[in-house]
Amino acid sequence: MTPEELSKIASAQQETLKKYTHRIHVCVAAGCQSSDADKVKDALSAEVKAQGKEKCCLVKGVGCMGLCSAGPLVSVETGNILYQEVKPEDAKDIISSLDGEPVQRLICPTDIPFFSKQKKIVLENFGKIDPETIADYIAVGGYQALFQALTEMDPPEVINEVLKSGLRGRGGAGYPTGLKWSTVAKADSTRKYVVCNADEGDPGAFMDRSVLESDPHRVIEGMAIAAYATGADQGYIYVRAEYPLAIKRLKNAIKQAERQGLLGHNICNTTFNFNIEIRLGAGAFVCGEETALLASIEGKRGAPRPRPPFPAQSGLWGYPTLINNVETFANIPPILRNGGDWLAAIGTEKSKGTKVFALAGQVKNTGLIEVPMGIPLRQIIFEIGGGVPEGRKFKAVQTGGPSGGCIPEQHLDISTDYESLATVGSIMGSGGMIVMDETSDMVDVAKYFMEFCMSESCGKCTPCRAGTAQMHGLLDRICSGQAETRDLALLEELCDMVRNTSLCGLGQTAPNPVLSTLRYFREEYTMKLTDASAKAAAK
Amino acid sequence: MTTQTSIRVKTLVIDGRDVSAREDQTVLQVAREHNIFIPSLCYLEGLHPVGACRLCMIEVKGIPKLQPACVTRIKEGMEVVTRSERIDKYRKMVVELLFAERNHICAVCVSNGRCDLQNMAKALDIDHVGVPYQYPRLNVDATHVRFMADHNRCILCTRCVRVCDEIEGAHTWDIMARGRDSRVITDLNQPWGESESCTSCGKCVHVCPTGALFEKGKSVAEMVKRRQFLPYLTTMRESW
Amino acid sequence: MSKVTIATVWLDGCSGCHMSFLDQDERLIDLAPLIELVYSPLVDNKEFPEMVDVTLVEGAVSSDEDLHKIRKIRARTKILVSLGDCAVTANVPSMRNSFKVADILKRAYEENADLNAGTMPSGQVPTLLKHARPVHEIVNVDIFVPGCPPHADTINYVLTELLAGRKPDMTGRTRFGI
């Protein structure tokens, strides 16, 4: 395919869409599907037919619109109306109202901070395009960035734009993406790989899942650009089998891209070849760790190995391998379209661009959000999230999943960026954000995360395998009121030891939920101790 | 036949001592050559190092995180510290965690007196185990004609897995399950005696650091492990 | 100068550590003028004294009686010494820990009994705890002397150091098993 052919597809699709005076978008991402969005979509289509409006009215399944708690969401694009909690029975009213007044009882206000405070880059096509139609993606400028890279830029120029953008890995650790790319690009090898880490496993996190379900082509395009920049010709997407919808849409997207010549040989009539295969993970959390993930792709047991060598030097089957997560790749097409400086202008000095968060827990507006880096945590929780429901008091927000920490009220004014979150004992992580209110028992929270780490430890290194089990046992004792001061002291010693001696990130960060709750809610621990000295101290 | 390769010699400092080493050596290898004690249980000369037991953690100047000596390649000018208050503490805890994790009853073990884990406790002056004992219920596999596997005494060092795969080439042993449920298994978790890939060579038994793998008929403190074959085989293969 | 009071107790163990204590042989004669053995399986005293200077504990904590005893002993002891692997690691008594107590009793009193098979012990025999546990998991222990049994030399070293008013330095003197 040539750039001209690409534009042709884009304008043809734009024309097709323009023919409809009414375009109704139904969210068909996993969140809304779980509340019967499919049936709503079918009902709307049937109603369009029944009222004979097929010619002027289009009903289209689209990706996540963000406010999952109000799903199923339906938007009437042409009227700028958003409907919430739509049921199949509402189809008639919605279709009938298209030329008149909107259905008041279903209206979801869009002038609220949940929508106005966000900045959408990764999620720009969410709610707009049909994730199962490649033409829809192309119509909004999809694959233009890839063609631009292939026809107008040489690989170092591509890398330079990524470097300029200041983009850092969105999987959690925040390693500079451009630096990683240039390391792989410089590696001298006959074969290189590009791998997309879609093994999102933090409890409460669904950012990558939504991206794959709502805009899969964006990830494919990002990977192809990365392959061009680094000199790879084969890509793998490692996605967990628990995401069937994401897998289905990815497979479909790959097939469509291949058919259009956007994957395969001589892409855009150049010498660039690139293919993508999907590898399904069996749900082991540790396979999100890059060396374990690579082992799993190779068909081996999903266990991490010591680094160095890093995958950029020796990855899949010993070849240099670029591994980035879904959200990182999703940032690439807009960076190339708008230039690295454009992204670098958003965010803070060291954390550029935006971050997608899965807002969950005791907060009114749960769902998927994207905010500029540097926004105060308080704004995310109380303005975008709408605060804690039912008048209860906010207690803490957990970021970074089992590797992160709990941040209490007094630190809510910090800026949301990699460094600031670290200073208060948490991490940016991949974007899970769980809000807890006064009813949460923080020791119990720590125990929950420790149980997660214990059962997800691969068992290879002693500190993580045996240490997490011991820490969980001690937390259990504290929770059940059978622990003494010395048990708490032992727990703290284990935290220190496991953090400093474990082989991979899973073990090294497993103590974080305990350490951060101890830092801010120590009295909740000591109150549960039973010995005399602890009781005296509590008084 | 030996091929000429250009391997450079580099100098580094271990615990204040200037030492020289080949650039393809690890800190652990160099330390041992100079009689500097760095404890380790999963490491065995002749097998691929995995950095799993975490006993050989050392401090390297300029790197904030502790590094496993068995997989850390030496570098010119590197400054290594093999002992400190916190390293000693962590090493003790690693051994204590191993003791508490399964049912190691030294007094009634075939390897009593000759066990790497038992000796490690002694070398690190461990006088008791500070973490609670877990007492898991584990099996003993006595289906093999000549050998036994007692999972109560396994420390999951994977020496058996590696020697079987890398030296014998049978890959009978592997690991199943995750975390504390991890077990070494033969074939696809079939009884050892029914394994079709096992050649009954006994290499796994002799590299096993504890009484987890042993010869049938041996009673308490009778199991002597002979590991001479390993450096012999590796040297022979290198010069082949 | 008043003598240092010493007690030795025998919980769930084989008495091998007491044998090793006696294996100090003639060195016991040197110790004798300095210590007073106020409570021990080796002397006839039924009640643990109000306060003793040093108590050597052999054996794991296996039954409700052991539990009661060790708590009382801890409260009445200045320096508590875990003597031998059973006290330090629960050792052989802990081999029952991966089984249920009821199953163990069934094996002993029903399946393997020749006389009165199936009659479970009650009243006279202390009730078994769920697990046989090392002493330090129940009460604080001041000095650990592992070994199965600990060598007489080690026991003698620990005692002489304690009598000299020093905390014994166990470096190079610890070992499990053998």
- Cα–Cα dist A243/A246, whole Å: 5
Angle of helix A3-18 versus helix A144-152 axis, rounded to 10: 160
Asked if the model's pLDDT at residue A150 lies above 90, the reply is: yes
Q: How confident is the model at residue A538 (pLDDT cuts 50, 70, 90)?
A: low
Decide if B97 and A470 are in contact by the 8 Å CB cutoff.
Answer: yes
Comparing C-alpha atoms, which of A373, A382, A324 is closest to residue A352?
Answer: A373
Within 8 A by CB and 6+ apart from C124, the residues are: none
Best interface-test mutation with A: which of B40, B54, B184 has the largest number of A CBs within 10 A?
A: B54
Asked if the model's pLDDT at residue C24 lies above 90, the reply is: yes
- What's the longest Cα–Cα distance across chain B? 54
The residue-averaged pLDDT of C132-148 equals 97
Rounded to 5 degrees, φ, ψ at A430 are -90, -10
Question: Subunits that touch chain B (at least 3 Cβ pairs < 8 angstroms)?
Answer: A, C
Q: How confident is the model at residue B107 (pLDDT cuts 50, 70, 90)?
A: very high
* B105 vs C contacts (CB less than 8 Å): 89, 91-92, 94-95
For residue A124, tell me if it sits in a domain: no
For residue A286, tell me if it sits in a domain: yes
**Could you tell me if A151 lies within 8 Å of chain B, comparing CB atoms?**
no
Determine the residue type at C13: G
Q: How confident is the model at residue B151 (pLDDT cuts 50, 70, 90)?
A: very high
Q: How far, CA to CA in Å, does A191 sit from each of A263, A316, A322, C136? A: 18, 10, 12, 58
Q: How far, CA to CA in Å, does A212 sit from each of A70, A199, A206, A249? A: 21, 12, 10, 7
- Which pLDDT value is given to residue B1? 47
Q: How far, CA to CA in Å, does A423 sit from each of A372, A373, A416, B112? A: 19, 16, 11, 49
ipTM entry: 0.95
Q: Are residues A369 and A237 in the same domain?
A: no
* pLDDT tens, residue by residue, A188-239: 999 999 999 999 999 889 999 999 999 999 999 999 999 999 999 999 999 9
CA distance C133 to chain B (A): 8
Q: Are residues A327 and A471 in the same domain?
A: no
For residue A506, tell me if it sits in a domain: yes
Burial class (CB in 10 A: 0-12, 13-18, 19+), A84: middle
Q: Are residues A192 and A305 in the same domain?
A: yes
CB pairs B-C closer than 8 Å = 83
Asked if the model's pLDDT at residue C54 lies above 60, the reply is: yes
- Which pLDDT value is given to residue A355? 97
Determine the residue type at B98: L
Q: Are residues A271 and A150 in the same domain?
A: yes
Q: Which residue has the tokens 């790879």?
A: A232
Cβ atoms A513, A407 nearer than 8 A: no
The residue-averaged pLDDT of A341-368 equals 95
The residue-averaged pLDDT of B161-172 equals 97
Q: How far, CA to CA in Å, does B217 sit from each of A330, A442, B213? A: 63, 53, 12
For residue A134, tell me if it sits in a domain: no
For residue A102, tell me if it sits in a domain: yes
Asked if the model's pLDDT at residue C118 lies above 90, the reply is: no
DSSP for chain B, written as a single string: ------PPEEEEEETTEEEEEETT-BHHHHHHHTT-----SS--TTS-----S--SEEEETT-SS-EETTT-B--TT-EEE---HHHHHHHHHHHHHHHHHTT--GGG-TTTTS-HHHHHHHHTT--S--SPP------EE--SSSEEEEGGG-----HHHHIIIIII----EEEESSGGG-EEEETTTB-GGG-SS-----HHHHH-SSSSEEETT--TT------THHHHHHHHHHH-
**Could you tell me if B96 lies within 8 Å of chain A, comparing CB atoms?**
no
Q: Are residues A149 and A228 in the same domain?
A: yes
Determine the residue type at C52: V
Question: How would you classify residue A346: left for phi > 0, otherwise alpha for psi between -120 and 50, otherwise beta?
Answer: beta
- Nearest residue in chain B measured CA to CA from C146: B127
- Cα–Cα dist B52/A461, whole Å: 4
Q: Are residues A278 and A405 in the same domain?
A: no
Which letter does DSSP use for residue C33 in this model? T
pLDDT winner (highest mean) among A17-21, B119-123, B226-230: B119-123
Comparing C-alpha atoms, which of C128, A174, A491, A342 is closest to residue B130?
Answer: A491
Q: Which residue has the tokens 């009781």?
A: A535
Cβ atoms A30, A75 nearer than 8 A: no
Decide if A490 and B156 are in contact by the 8 Å CB cutoff.
Answer: no
CB pairs A-B closer than 8 Å = 103
- Cα–Cα dist B97/A370, whole Å: 43
Q: What percent of chain A clears pLDDT 70, i.e. is strictly above it? A: 99
For residue A126, tell me if it sits in a domain: no
* C92 vs B contacts (CB less than 8 Å): 105, 107-108
Q: Are residues A94 and A189 in the same domain?
A: no
Question: Subunits that touch chain C (at least 3 Cβ pairs < 8 angstroms)?
Answer: B
Decide if B54 and A473 are in contact by the 8 Å CB cutoff.
Answer: no
Q: Are residues A322 and A370 in the same domain?
A: no
What separation, in Å, do the N-terminal and C-terminal C-alpha atoms of chain C show? 39
- Among A312, A344, A376, identify where a domain stops: A344
Residue in C98, C136, C171 nearest the CB of B128: C136
Q: Are residues A432 and A456 in the same domain?
A: no
Cβ atoms A249, A132 nearer than 8 A: yes
- Which pLDDT value is given to residue C117? 87
Comparing C-alpha atoms, which of A433, A415, A301 is closest to residue A356?
Answer: A433
User: Which residue range(s) make up the domain with A56?
Assistant: 15-112
- Cα–Cα dist B227/B45, whole Å: 10
Q: How confident is the model at residue B4 (pLDDT cuts 50, 70, 90)?
A: low
The residue-averaged pLDDT of A349-356 equals 96
Domain count for chain A: 4
**Could you tell me if A470 lies within 8 Å of chain B, comparing CB atoms?**
yes
Burial C23-33 (b: 16+ CB within 10 A, else e): bbeeeeeebee
* pLDDT tens, residue by residue, A372-422: 999 999 999 999 999 999 999 999 999 998 999 999 999 999 999 999 999
| Neighbouring-strand partners of residue A367 | A359
CA distance A446 to chain B (A): 19
- Which pLDDT value is given to residue B2? 53
- Cα–Cα dist C26/C17, whole Å: 17
The CATH architecture to which C4-96+129-163 belongs is 3-Layer(aba) Sandwich (3.40)
Cβ atoms B80, B57 nearer than 8 A: no
Decide if B57 and A469 are in contact by the 8 Å CB cutoff.
Answer: no
Average pLDDT, chain A: 95
Average pLDDT, chain C: 95
Decide if C146 and B128 are in contact by the 8 Å CB cutoff.
Answer: yes
* pLDDT tens, residue by residue, A65-87: 999 999 899 999 878 899 999 99
Structural domains in chain B, CATH included, are 9-83 (3.10.20.740), 110-230 (3.30.70.20)
Other C-beta atoms lying within 10 Å of the C-beta of residue A403: 26
**Could you tell me if B62 lies within 8 Å of chain A, comparing CB atoms?**
no
**Could you tell me if B156 lies within 8 Å of chain A, comparing CB atoms?**
yes
- CATH number, residue A260: 3.40.50.11540
Cis peptide before C149 (omega within 30 of 0): yes
Take residue C49 and report the two structure tokens written for it.
């004294």
* B75 vs A contacts (CB less than 8 Å): none
DSSP for C54-97, written as a single string: EEEEESBEEEHHHHHHHHHHHHTEEEEEEESHHHHH-TGGGGGT
Between residues A173 and B95, the one the model is more confident about: B95
Cβ atoms A180, A212 nearer than 8 A: no
Residue in B90, B130, B180 nearest the CB of A459: B180
Decide if C89 and B113 are in contact by the 8 Å CB cutoff.
Answer: no
Best interface-test mutation with C: which of B88, B104, B105, B223 has the largest number of C CBs within 10 A?
A: B105
This prediction has a pTM of: 0.95
Within 8 A by CB and 6+ apart from A299, the residues are: none
Asked if the model's pLDDT at residue B239 lies above 80, the reply is: no
Rounded to 5 degrees, φ, ψ at B72 are -95, 115
**Could you tell me if A280 lies within 8 Å of chain B, comparing CB atoms?**
no
For residue A135, tell me if it sits in a domain: no
Comparing C-alpha atoms, which of A301, A401, A288, A472 is closest to residue B52?
Answer: A301
Q: Are residues A289 and A381 in the same domain?
A: no
Between residues A100 and A142, the one the model is more confident about: A142
CA distance C116 to chain B (A): 30
CA angle, corner B153, sides to B152 and B159, nearest 5?
130
- Cα–Cα dist B155/B104, whole Å: 10
Q: Where are the domains of chain C?
A: 4-96+129-163
Burial C39-59 (b: 16+ CB within 10 A, else e): bbeeeeeeebeeebbbbbbbb
Q: What percent of chain B clears pLDDT 70, i.e. is strictly above it? A: 98
- Among A303, A319, A344, identify where a domain stops: A344
Within 8 A by CB and 6+ apart from A403, the residues are: A172, A202, A427, A429, A505, A506, A509, A510, A512
Comparing C-alpha atoms, which of A184, A167, A183, A187 is closest to residue A175?
Answer: A167
The count of C-alpha atoms lying within 13 angstroms of the C-alpha of C128, restricted to the half-sphere facing its C-beta, is: 19
Q: Are residues A230 and A302 in the same domain?
A: yes
Residue in B53, B71, B98 nearest the CB of A306: B71
Comparing C-alpha atoms, which of A260, A255, A252, A228 is closest to residue A329?
Answer: A228
The residue-averaged pLDDT of B32-46 equals 97
Decide if B107 and C148 are in contact by the 8 Å CB cutoff.
Answer: yes
Q: Are residues A367 and A469 in the same domain?
A: no
